[in-house]
Amino acid sequence: METVKVTRAGGVVTVTMNRPERKNALTRGMTEELRSTFDAVAHNAEDRVLVLTGEGGDFCSGADLSDADAPAVGDPASSLEWVRALGDVVSSLHRLSKPTIAKVDGVAVGAGLGLAIACDLVVASTRARLSMIFTRRALSPDCATSWLLPRLVGSAKAKELAFFGEILDAGTAVRIGLVNRAVTADELDAQVASWAESLAEGPSLALSTTKALLDAAWSTSFAEAIEREAECQAANLAGADVTEAIAAFSEKRSPRFVGS
């Protein structure tokens, strides 16, 4: 691949957007490489956690409208196809059944912010800058930000961020619920590695069902949630990891989960 790097270690797959000269702005080629990578991770049992990050001190500066394959202004058909391609990337990331972590340094704006908040967890460095920058470019939200943002920060705050395109520092992003943790740039790798390794060593079926239940919370009734919980818990109780967890507790040792 030309614009994405993928590394694997101990069940953690790290996907790095690799166009540092453009602050990892998204091109058509990058969207295709990201989508194929996310789909591959979804079908690889050895990949238990995905970390998404950017090369060169920035996460992603959004869509690269200066790219040769970007839609021409005044061409609605190519614009629609391009924005749908962006949406497909975020969809493939969001529907992953495995835990995902965005490691954010530098800028994460526009479509880049969409990729970050499509992950289950977001860890940002204190030099990160995040923004719904769309209206500053005479654009409306894309990359699922209109769906994700209100669920994270509430409707009123989402409209404020979307209308004004304010640049947020990491501390503010944590305070309003957009980001989980803010750490110094020197601590960023260690914090993400700690979370990723912990999740990779965890009970993957239980983590997957937990993610599915929480993701469905906004579109599920109370009664439906109760039933879905029962179905998921029954699947967990039928697996080997529950037996291992009970044995480890009794023997006062750390569990060794096998992912079933």
Q: Where are the domains of the chain?
A: 4-200, 204-250
How large is the C-alpha radius of gyration of the chain?
A: 19
Q: Which of 1.25.40.10, 3.90.226.10, 3.40.1440.10, 3.40.50.150 is the CATH number of 4-200?
A: 3.90.226.10
pLDDT of residue 258: 86
Residues 6+ apart with CB under 8 A from 37: 1, 4, 6, 15
Mean pLDDT by 10 residues, the chain (260 residues): 96 98 95 97 96 98 84 78 93 97 98 98 98 96 97 97 98 98 98 97 95 94 96 94 92 88
pLDDT of residue 183: 98
pLDDT of residue 111: 96
